[in-house]
Structure 1
Amino acid sequence: GGSVKDRVGANIIEQAEKRGEIKPGGTIVEATSGNTGVGLAIAAALKGYKTIFVMPDKMSNEKILLLRAYGAKVVITPTEAGPGDPRSYYEVAKKFAREVPNAILANQYHNPDNPQTHIESTGPEIWEQTDGKVTDVIIGIGTGGTITGVGRYLKAKNPNITIVGVDIEGSILTEIWQNNGIIPPGAYPKTYKVEGIGEDFLPSTMDIRVVDAIERAGDRESFLWARQLVRQEGIFAGGSSGSAIAGALKYCRKLSGDRLTVVILPDSGSRYLSKFYDDKWMREFGFLTMEFGEMSLGDLMIAKQNKTLYTATLGDSIRKVELVMRQHAISQLPVVDKDGALVGLIEEVDMLKHMLEEHNHSNDEPIDSLVQKAGAVYSPSTSLDDAMHSLTEGLALIIVDGNRPAGILTKIDVLDFVAGKI
Structure 2
Amino acid sequence: MRPIKKVYDNILETIGHTPMIRLNEIVKDFPCEVLAKVEYFNPGNSVKDRMALQMIENAEKEGKLKPGGTIIECTSGNTGMGLALAAIVKGYKLICTLSDKQSKEKMDVLRAMGAELYVCPTNVPPEHPDSYYSVADRLHKEIPNSYYPYQYDNPGNAQAHYDSTGPEIWEQTEGRITHFVVGVGTGGTISGVGKYLKEKNPDIQIWGIDSYGSVFKKYHETGEFDEKEIYSYITEGIGEDILPKNVDFDVIDYFEKVSDKDGALATRELAKKEGLFLGYSCGSAFQGLRQLKDRLKPEDVVVVLFHDHGSRYVGKVFNDDWMRDRGFLTTENSTAGDLVRAHEHLPLVSVQPDEVIAQAIQKMQKHSISQIPVMKDGKQVGSLDDSRLFQAMIEDPGLAEKFVESIMEAPFPEVAPDADVKSVAKLINKDNSAVLVRLNSGALHIITKQDLISALS
- What CA distance in whole angstroms lies between the structure 2 residues aligned with 1:267 and 1:194? 13
From the CA coordinates, give the structure whose radius of gyration is larger: 2
Equivalent position of 2:351 in the other structure? none
1:259 and 2:276 are equivalent in the alignment: no
One-letter code of the match for 2:280? G
1:235 counterpart (276, 294, 307):
276
Structure 1 segment 228-377 matched on structure 2, within 5 A: 228-288=269-329, 290-292=330-332
One-letter code of the match for 2:304? V
- What CA distance in whole angstroms lies between the structure 1 residues aligned with 2:228 and 2:159? 30
Instruction: Give 1:83 deviation, angstroms.
Output: 1.3
Instruction: Give 1:292 deviation, angstroms.
Output: 4.0
- What CA distance in whole angstroms lies between the structure 1 residues aligned with 2:209 and 2:287? 9
- What CA distance in whole angstroms lies between the structure 2 residues aligned with 1:130 and 1:187? 40
- What CA distance in whole angstroms lies between the structure 1 residues aligned with 2:54 and 2:151? 11
Equivalent position of 2:225 in the other structure? 183
SS of the residue 1:187 aligns to? helix
Q: Indicate if the aligned counterparts of 1:175 and 1:187 stay in contact, CA closer than 8 A.
A: no
Could you say what the CA RMSD is over the residues aligned between the two structures, in angstroms? 1.3
- What CA distance in whole angstroms lies between the structure 2 residues aligned with 1:18 and 1:221? 43
**Please, which runs of 5 or more residues in structure 2 have no aligned partner?**
1-43, 334-421, 423-457
Equivalent position of 1:206 in the other structure? 247
Higher relative contact order (CA 8 A, sep 6+): 2
1:12 counterpart (55, 66, 70):
55
- What CA distance in whole angstroms lies between the structure 2 residues aligned with 1:116 and 1:187? 32
Instruction: Among all aligned residue pairs of Structure 1 and Structure 2, give the percentage whose two residues are the same amino acid.
Output: 48
One-letter code of the match for 2:87? A
Instruction: Give 1:173 deviation, angstroms.
Output: 1.1
Instruction: Give 1:121 deviation, angstroms.
Output: 0.4
**Please, which runs of 5 or more residues in structure 1 have no aligned partner?**
294-384, 386-422
Deviations 1:277-312 (A, max 9, x none): 000111111111x3449xxxxxxxxxxxxxxxxxxx
Q: Indicate if the aligned counterparts of 1:166 and 1:215 stay in contact, CA closer than 8 A.
A: yes
Runs of 4+ more than 6 Å apart: none
Instruction: Give 1:179 deviation, angstroms.
Output: 2.0
One-letter code of the match for 1:155? K
Instruction: Give 1:97 deviation, angstroms.
Output: 0.7
- What CA distance in whole angstroms lies between the structure 2 residues aligned with 1:246 and 1:187? 24
Equivalent position of 2:81 in the other structure? 38
2:108 counterpart (47, 65, 74):
65
SS of the residue 1:150 aligns to? helix
- What CA distance in whole angstroms lies between the structure 2 residues aligned with 1:62 and 1:154? 34
Deviations 1:79-120 (A, max 9, x none): 011211111100110001111110010110010000000000
Structure 1 segment 385-404 matched on structure 2, within 5 A: none
Aligned length: 291
1:161 counterpart (183, 200, 204):
204
- What CA distance in whole angstroms lies between the structure 2 residues aligned with 1:152 and 1:170? 26
Q: Indicate if the aligned counterparts of 2:216 and 2:255 stay in contact, CA closer than 8 A.
A: no
Deviations 1:164-209 (A, max 9, x none): 00001111111111123x403x533111111000001110111100
Q: TM-score w.r.t. structure 1 length?
A: 0.68
SS of the residue 1:281 aligns to? helix
Q: TM-score w.r.t. structure 2 length?
A: 0.63
1:110 counterpart (132, 137, 153):
153
2:167 counterpart (109, 115, 124):
124
- What CA distance in whole angstroms lies between the structure 2 residues aligned with 1:188 and 1:213? 17
Instruction: Give 1:36 deviation, angstroms.
Output: 0.3
Deviations 1:191-249 (A, max 9, x none): 11110000011101111000101111111110101001001110000110000010011
2:139 counterpart (74, 85, 96):
96
SS of the residue 1:101 aligns to? coil
SS of the residue 1:253 aligns to? helix
SS of the residue 2:161 aligns to? helix
